[in-house]
Amino acid sequence: MTAPDREQILEALKAVRHPTKGGDLVGLGMVSGVVVKGGNVGFALEVDPAEAKALEPLRQAAEAAVKRLPGVLSVAVVLTAERAPGGRMPSGQAAPPPEIGARAPQKPLVPGIDAIVAVGSGKGGVGKSTTAINLAMGLAALGVRTGLLDADIYGPSLPRMSGLSGRPTTVDGKRLRPMEAFGVKLMSMGFLVEEDTAMIWRGPMVQSALRQMLADVDWGRLDVLVVDLPPGTGDAQLTMAQHVPLAGAVIVSTPQDIALLDAKKAINMFRRVDVPVLGIVENMSYYRCPNCGHRADIFAHGGARETAARFGVDFLAEIPLAIEIRETSDAGRPIVVSAPDHPQAKAYLDLARTVRDKLSPEAQSRRAFPGIVYE
């Protein structure tokens, strides 16, 4: 059966009326970000932040209206609460400045997950996603029940790197069942849209999508959920840092000075929102020629270790620049699972072991007392 197109979806949404404004969703200009992948449909409803909680029934009505269309397999709808232009609250009062130095009340957004670890970087192109997926696969290889969330809405890479395609199934018509590869549960916007689809979404839409990929996914019981953050220190990072009970953050950087400048910003961001920085990984640390054995420090060497010492955080690992890592990632079989005895795989496994140990109850209780000098 042929899936509906964008115009058919909008026509269906014209039948859904706002409970207080009287108009339909399309006529009121509330519908945005419509994406269709086969029979899987996703879109956002832009609402007044003061009405966001009360309009959950409206979101459900919009979802039901589209789900009734022939050819629709599933529907994902997010509410995006945006402030009025100029940074004003809808009431006309000035919006209060964000309290960057304090985290929002930490509710168990994802029950059943013991620890959530963010993998971040100040800039793109440093191998953060490669590190995140090999860290997750490494944790699973150590017997840790692990999940991996690809939080990069604009540039999701998890489907390609995990070798998975297709759409997550729904558990009860409301929650999605995550995909799974090599014993790790996976969720990514890349599973919900076509690979070459441009996600032209504003910040509030990204925040809502992230919260739904956490709260509306049936993760089950996990010891650790690894979150692959997008590069930078923007909306997605602050959403995760301020609204999710993060156990810690792993910062990925190359040894290059320009990359380390942005890595320092990432460290400072997590510290300002009171998220423990577990340490720094130096990726593309060096290159060793497979033919002659000559070592070349293409992006310099040791900068991440020096930065870790300067900021008083642990240096977690140095991962070399190796063609095997690139090849296995592109092939959808990360090196940790495709060649576990390879020296580069062992480097990732050592990283996973270190992160696992840092998340132990004993390690976390020691971090609660900042006056103690840790080993």
pLDDT at 139: 96
pLDDT value of position 109: 55
Q: What is the pLDDT of residues 309-357, one digit of tens each?
A: 888 899 999 999 989 999 999 999 999 999 999 999 999 999 999 999 9
The DSSP output letter for 244 is S
Residue 183 has pLDDT above 90, yes or no: yes
pLDDT digits (tens, 9 = 90+) for 106-135: 445 577 899 999 998 877 788 889 999 999
Taking only the tens place, the pLDDT of each residue in 61-80 is 999 999 999 988 888 887 77
pLDDT of residue 364: 53
- Residue pair 303/318 in contact (Cβ under 8 Å)? The answer is no
pLDDT of 226 > 80? The answer is yes
Higher pLDDT, 241 or 166: 166
User: Is the backbone of residue 259 left (phi > 0), alpha (psi -120 to 50) or beta?
Assistant: alpha
Fold equal for 6-84 and 113-367:
no
Token readout for 83 is 């402030």
Give the pLDDT band of residue 235 (cuts 50, 70, 90): low
DSSP states of 132-183: HHHHHHHHHHTT--EEEEE--SSS--HHHHHT--S-PPBSSSSSBPPEEETT
Q: Is 0.85 surpassed by the pTM of this model?
A: no
What's the rounded Cα separation, in Å, for the pair 63 and 78?
A: 10
For 306-337, letters b (16+ CB in 10 Å) and e give ebbeebebbbbbbbbbbebbeebbeeebbbbb
Residue 203 DSSP SS3: helix
Q: Which residues have a Cβ under 8 Å from the Cβ of 262 and sit 6 or more positions away?
A: 121, 122, 123, 231, 232, 253
CATH architecture of 113-367: 3-Layer(aba) Sandwich (3.40)
> To the nearest whole number, what is the mean pLDDT of the chain?
80
CA–CA dist 63, 161 (Å, integer): 31
Helix (H) or strand (E) holding 7: helix 6-13
The CATH homologous superfamily of the domain defined by 6-84: Fe-S cluster assembly (FSCA) (3.30.300.130)
Please check the confidence at residue 89 and state whether its pLDDT lies above 70.
no
pLDDT > 50? residue 282: yes
Q: Residue 138 — very low, low, confident or very high, per pLDDT cuts 50/70/90? A: very high
pLDDT band with cut points at 50, 70 and 90 for residue 85: very low
For 243, list phi and psi in degrees, rounded to 5: -120, 0
The three-class DSSP label of residue 87 is helix
What are the sequence ranges of the domains in the chain? Answer: 6-84, 113-367
